[in-house]
Amino acid sequence: MKILLVYPEFPDTFWSFKHALKFVRKKAGAPPLGLLTVAAMLPSTWEKRLVDLNVTNLTEKDLAWADYVFLSAMVVQRESARVVIERCKAAAVKVVAGGPLFTMEHEQFPDVDYFVLNEAELTLAPFLRDLEQGLAQRVYASAEFPDIHQTPVPLWKLADLRHYDTVSIQFSRGCPFNCDFCNVTALLGHRPRTKTAAQIIAELDNLYALGWRKSIFFVDDNFIGNKKQIKSEVLPALIAWRKGKAGMPFSTEASINLADDPELLRLMVAAGFDTVFVGIETPNEDSLTECSKSQNKGRDLVESVKQLQRAGLQVQGGFIVGFDNDSSSIFQQQIDFIQKSGIVTAMVGLLQAPLGTRLYERMQQEGRLVKEFSGDNVDGSTNIVPRMGLEPLQEGYRRILNQIYAPGLYYERVLTFLREYQPPQIRVQLEPQYILALWRSIYQLGIRGVERVHYWRLFFWTLFRRPRLFPLAITFAIYGFHFRQVAALHVN
């Protein structure tokens, strides 16, 4: 059996980093973890190839080779997935589809031959068994949540890792919280299910043996969902594994209550974590109550962010405007919070209601659903009727993006962060493309760019005052270029 695993293209979004990746001659952020994990679950005797449309093209020769195309996608990849399905149908290649997009919307794809939905640990084996017997059904789904102790090491060897800037791995699935706009719990449940420390070390060993030395992103929706296991097993194992190794800094996603646990913070930094994405959402307490973001309430959110930064973690933040309790003042409040906190990578989006969330159900009951959920965090769209009105909301949103990624405020925020940040001790392997990226940044940003005055101020301030942070400062300058390109798509 010949299986072609196809990953659709991401549009030009906040997290695509397409404009930044050009500086280091990379084509995509990370290889598709879900597809490569599924590949490891397929019979070892089957032939497998990966086509990631973010790094290469899908050719007629690829389709002619394949017996089946296995297609996985997120909602934001919807349009690219439709194109892939059309091409497969034209080439008479059967499509097996799974992943978040199809789990939530499989009825919208009549041309897909088979759906293997939810988590593959439960639904893939029955499909493969029936397929072998010629009895395959069209839809395989499960309401259960599998034990992931048996989840195999992904087949990273199928991906050409030279094209990527990071690699994703997963320790846990599910989140203990119940934010009403988030579909993580609908897809993966409230009880965090975890791999063993031995599984994580085996995955890291596999990557290290393949020569990977760059960053690794733990894609858990809340890495600290099971604090006890993290502190007693996983982080000590990571600390021991890292000894004598260069590179491979870790990043992840976590809730803001990470700031309340100094021991957990210390262990994460010692294990090699240097970045964490946190869902801040809003400084408006009434809006936090509205969306059941209880872990963010009753605290000084700016000080919590500063605690993480001082401990050695860069904080990337997610922000939302358009809650029912938001007034016209929320836009300046968000700008002020982002600037004061020194959150350089600040993703701001309009409130949207994904299928399967409590917010979706509430908006449906109130007759406030208006169109398809785009899955793009910063495209300025929403699938709900906002209480403040769509036009004022979108105008305020454009104001936020215009300001926080304008060179003046952006570079000011970078300096705010660099003054606070205490970087962890991670031995970095400097690769030639990063030296080239420095020269490209000098030319693109320091000579040609509208931000050149701010660029040179950051350049020399960091070089003389915080020289250890100089590579990070240049990275942020490049990020800013990407963010401005993405923002320009939606604010003009």
How many CA atoms, within 13 angstroms, populate the side-chain half-sphere of residue 29? 19
Q: Is residue 82 packed enough to be buried (19+ CB in 10 Å), middle (13-18) or exposed (0-12)? A: middle
How far, in Å, CA of 298 to CA of 287, rounded? 13
Averaged pLDDT score across all residues of the chain: 95
Region for 375 from its dihedrals, namely left if φ exceeds 0, alpha if ψ lies in -120 to 50, beta otherwise: left
**Domain 2-140: CATH class, spelled out:** alpha beta
Position of tokens 């509430």? 362
The contacts of residue 449 (CB under 8 Å, 6+ apart) are 455, 481
Angle 470-491/407-420 helices, nearest 10 degrees? Answer: 150
pLDDT number for residue 434: 81
For residue 428, what pLDDT band results from cuts at 50, 70 and 90? low
Collapsed DSSP state (helix, strand, coil) of residue 406: coil
d(CA 195, CA 237): 13
pLDDT digits (tens, 9 = 90+) for 97-132: 999 999 999 999 999 999 999 999 999 999 999 999
Q: State the Cα–Cα distance between residues 474 and 449, nearest whole angstrom.
A: 14
Please give the pLDDT value at position 375. Answer: 83
Topology, domain 165-420: TIM Barrel (3.20.20)
| Residues 296-302, mean pLDDT to the nearest whole number | 96
Angle at 334 between CA 329 and CA 337, to 5 degrees: 125
How high is the pLDDT of residue 420?
87
Per-domain boundaries in the chain:
2-140, 165-420
Average pLDDT of 407-416?
98
Residue 422: predicted pLDDT: 87
Closest C-alpha to 209, from 163, 239, 252, 241: 241
d(CA 227, CA 192): 10
| Residue 115 DSSP label | E
Q: Assign 195 a pLDDT band (cuts: 50, 70, 90).
A: very high
- Return the HEC string of 282-337: CCCHHHHHHCCCHHHCCCCHHHHHHHHHHHCCEEEEEEEECCCCCCCCHHHHHHHH
**Mean pLDDT of the 393-402 span:** 95
Across the range 326-330, mean pLDDT stands at 97
Helices (H) and strands (E) in the chain, counts: 20, 14
Q: In whole angstroms, what separates CA 328 from the centre of its chain? A: 29
Read off the pLDDT of residues 4-56 as tens digits, 9 standing for 90 and up.
999 999 999 998 999 999 999 999 999 999 999 999 999 999 999 999 999 99
